[in-house]
Structure 1
Amino acid sequence: MSNTATSPENGEGATPGFLVWRLSTKWRVAVDRAVAPLGLTHAQYALLASLYGMSRAGQRPSQRRLADHTGLEPLYVSKLARALETSGLVSRVRDPDDPRAMQLSLTQQGHDVTGRAITSVQHLLDQLLRPLGGQDGPRARQFARDLTTLLNAPLDPYTENEKEQP
Structure 2
Amino acid sequence: MPDKAFGFEKPEDSPGFLLWQTTITWQRLIKKALDPYKISHAQFVILAIVLWFEGIKQEPTQILIVRQSKLDKMTVSKSLKKLVSLGLIKREEHEKDMRAKSVHLTAKGKSLASKLVPIVEKIDEKFFGVVGKKDQKQLINLLNDITSKNE
TM-score, L = length of structure 2: 0.88
For 2:125, the equivalent position in structure 1 comes to 126
Stretches of structure 1 that go unaligned for 5 or more consecutive residues are 1-5, 156-166
Letter in 2 for 1:150: I
* 1:65 equivalent in alignment to 2:61: no
Letter in 2 for 1:69: Q
For 1:94, the equivalent position in structure 2 comes to 93
What does 1:79-158 align with in structure 2 at a 5 Å threshold?
Answer: 79-133=78-132, 137-154=133-150
CA RMSD, Structure 1 to Structure 2 (Å): 1.6
Aligned-partner Cα distance in 2 for 1:150–1:113: 32
Post-superposition Cα deviations, 1:10-31, rounded to whole Å, max 9, x if no partner, equal xxx4300101111111222211
Post-superposition Cα deviations, 1:107-154, rounded to whole Å, max 9, x if no partner, equal 111011111111111111111122112xxx111111111110111112
For 1:158, the equivalent position in structure 2 comes to none
Aligned-partner Cα distance in 2 for 1:41–1:86: 14
Q: Secondary structure at the match of 1:60?
A: coil
Post-superposition Cα deviations, 1:39-72, rounded to whole Å, max 9, x if no partner, equal 2111101111111111111012110111011001
For 1:23, the equivalent position in structure 2 comes to 22
For 2:6, the equivalent position in structure 1 comes to none
Q: Secondary structure at the match of 1:99?
A: coil
Aligned-partner Cα distance in 1 for 2:10–2:123: 25
Aligned-partner Cα distance in 2 for 1:120–1:7: 35
Higher relative contact order (CA 8 A, sep 6+): 2
C-alpha change, 1:127 and 1:7, in structure 2 (3 Å) is farther
Stretches of structure 2 that go unaligned for 5 or more consecutive residues are 1-8
- Identity rate, percent: 24
Letter in 2 for 1:116: K
Q: Secondary structure at the match of 1:103?
A: strand
Aligned-partner Cα distance in 1 for 2:23–2:135: 19
Q: Secondary structure at the match of 2:99?
A: strand
Larger Rg over CA atoms: 1
For 1:41, the equivalent position in structure 2 comes to 40
Letter in 1 for 2:144: T
> Cα offset for 1:7?
7.2
> Cα offset for 1:84?
0.2
